[in-house]
Amino acid sequence: MNIFLSDRATPIPLKPGRHVLDALKEAGIFLNASCGGKGTCGKCKVKLLEGKPVIKGHGKLTEEQRAEGIVLACQVYPDADIKVEVPEGSRLAVGEKIAVSKTEGLMGMVKAAGGGLGPIVKEAHLQLSAPTIDDARSDLERLKMALADSGIEGTRFSRDFLAGMGKALRAANWDMSFRHAGGDAISIRQAASRPGFAIAVDIGTTTVVVYLINLADGKVLDVGSTYNSQIRFGDDVITRIVHATEGGGLEELAKTVRQDIKGITRALAGRHGVDRGEIELAVISGNTTMSHLFWGLDPGSIREEPYVPGVSIYPVLRGAEAGLFMNPEGAVYTFPSVASYVGGDIVSGVMASRMHTKPEIALFMDIGTNGEIAIGNNEWLITAACSAGPCFEGSGIIHGMRATEGAIESVKITGADFRVETGVIGTEGTAPRGICGSGMIDAISEMFLAGAVDMKGNLHELPDSKRIRRGENGMEFVIASTPAGDITLTEVDIENILRAKAAIYAGISTLVKEVGLTPDVIDRVYVAGGFGNYLNIERAIILGMLPDMQRDKFTFLGNTSITGAYMAAVSAKFQEEAAEVAARMTYVELSVSHGFMDEYMSSLFLPHTDVGLFPTVQKLIKK
């Protein structure tokens, strides 16, 4: 039984009892499906061209859509071959690609941070005497003595290293480059071999990013990214933990993400003529669940009170154990985590921000699914996870989407009749197909200033305007009209967004209160994560998500998880520093914090019940 696609020659096999969304996922075709395939979000639309499959439901599809043959892939259970068309708008797109050119400044940043080129993989040039009848020491003893002569002692040798050692020594004719990392022997190569390579890996819940780094000069040779194929087992960390534990899919999840990393690495290495064996180091950065799943560690306790991860400081794995495309003896370093919901990606990010080295008090925020924040300076660091939810990534918002092509990323509302101008990601003229996080923030703050929405997030029905109307899903504001239909924000969407921003702002204010301070002590805000450069600070302050501070105190850092991983790859100093940062970060569990609930309730308003906290917004409102 197969699914034929209108734009693809090879059909996709489908097992009876499975829905089309799953079959497409397994074939590497990812659709938007923020509800996880429950038929409620209405985003996995496909057009049925041929066949009469069983359709379990139509969710939010309109009569017109249904008449056109649009179905929800997660509701379609074929019992014979079918043919479908997957509209571009239904496809999940990988987030902003990181251009190699953007990585050029990284080595300079490493130097500015007091590091130099000094990866954990070290090289020693050893010239051994060849064995003779009078000196018939074993190969290993000969090697060990040469190492001792070079001041290298206590090296550990794996069985696999020893299995290949004799041939390697003789191939190098006893004159060789010996590579080792953290006390483990990695390889024996010809004396004049070029220095090795490393990969830095950011395992995001949604995307996986890999840098291929030349350890000769610290340059990023290439960057690759792909969807985290674990998506097929669930969109967020919780559904993946459930799949790993209750579903018995731990090994499967581990294998899946390793293969993603392997696939990218193989492609990057092939493109640059790098041999597998030359990649001697991998640095892995990910949230606690992603790190556990990469390692194949039971993540069960992460989601059960008291939310305890199995491991927070990870030992170094060998390449072969990690199942990566690299030297089997190579070192695989994993960033330490702070807590179940403040992972290695945040430690990596804080380290990359350098906030922990400066006296000024800074706020670091990574607004993805979770919304992790850290506040502190060179003396103290405090951190929390805000459980903001994934709405800024498009989940739970009817027309929400990730910040990819076709997403409305900026909104301007003018006039009493609420004229709307939108900025859309993509080349000029790209038709909007949804609204991403920065677009949502713009839209609501503009609606608020224009009087279309009140402090509580309620829309005011205006008989004169078609902008605000009562639709199928209740009151809604029309952001854009397209041939494919209107893109709107409903009152429920707005409520979800207010909850998310309230969680973040309440997290920030709770954290600063924990250390006996007030938000105005914050001198610098580092914004990391997918939000990246699209976030309009002004609007986020009006929304009440960010503290009302001088605008030049905000800095966008992009994907700090991969930046920190890069740093730890080119310089071992940053592996030590990451351990120190993780140890210094005091975790606050907001769900049991007495003050948090009050802060959260006060923050559910636009911008806040206490408008005095937002003086510049207060002025704007008065205008």
Peptide bond into 306 cis (omega under 30): yes
- Under the criterion CB under 8 A, does residue 309 sit at the interface with a copy of itself? yes
Give the one residue of 16, 273, 306, 359 binding a copy of itself; rule: CB under 8 A. 306
Give the one residue of 40, 301, 586, 616 binding a copy of itself; rule: CB under 8 A. 301
Nearest to 433 by CA among 372, 496, 479, 499: 479
Give the one residue of 182, 195, 310, 471 binding a copy of itself; rule: CB under 8 A. 310
- The pattern of x and - marking residues 575 through 604 that bind a copy of itself according to CB under 8 A reads ------------x-x--x------------
Helix pair angle (237-245, 250-271), 10° resolution: 120
- Under the criterion CB under 8 A, does residue 182 sit at the interface with a copy of itself? no
Nearer to a copy of itself, 273 or 306 (CB): 306
- Under the criterion CB under 8 A, does residue 138 sit at the interface with a copy of itself? yes
Nearer to a copy of itself, 103 or 593 (CB): 593
Return d(Cα 88, Cα 92) in angstroms, integer.
9
- Under the criterion CB under 8 A, does residue 352 sit at the interface with a copy of itself? no
**CA max distance for the chain:** 103
Residue 49 CB, shortest distance to a copy of itself, in Å, is: 46
CA dist 161 to 187, 322, 610, Å? 7, 16, 65
Return d(Cα 65, Cα 51) in angstroms, integer.
17
- Under the criterion CB under 8 A, does residue 247 sit at the interface with a copy of itself? no
Nearer to a copy of itself, 139 or 409 (CB): 139
Nearer to a copy of itself, 156 or 358 (CB): 156
- Under the criterion CB under 8 A, does residue 329 sit at the interface with a copy of itself? no
Contact 550, 614 (CB under 8 A): no
At 560, which amino acid appears?
Answer: T
Nearer to a copy of itself, 337 or 496 (CB): 337
Structure tokens at 552: 């030049």
At 482, which amino acid appears?
Answer: T
Residue 133 CB, shortest distance to a copy of itself, in Å, is: 4
For a copy of itself, which stretch binds (CB under 8 A), given 11-19, 67-75, 308-316, 570-578? 308-316
Give the one residue of 297, 489, 543, 557 binding a copy of itself; rule: CB under 8 A. 297
- The pattern of x and - marking residues 535 through 574 that bind a copy of itself according to CB under 8 A reads ----------------------------------------
* Three-class DSSP category at 569: helix
Map tokens 């909007």 to a residue.
432
Check residue 359 and report its DSSP letter: S
Contact 36, 234 (CB under 8 A): yes
Nearer to a copy of itself, 4 or 307 (CB): 307
Nearest to 329 by CA among 164, 172, 173, 152: 164
- Under the criterion CB under 8 A, does residue 136 sit at the interface with a copy of itself? yes
Nearest to 530 by CA among 405, 436, 411, 431: 436
Contact 377, 510 (CB under 8 A): no
The residues binding a copy of itself (CB under 8 A) are 131-133, 135-141, 156-159, 162-163, 165-167, 295-298, 300-301, 305-313, 315, 317, 321, 337, 339-340, 587, 589, 592
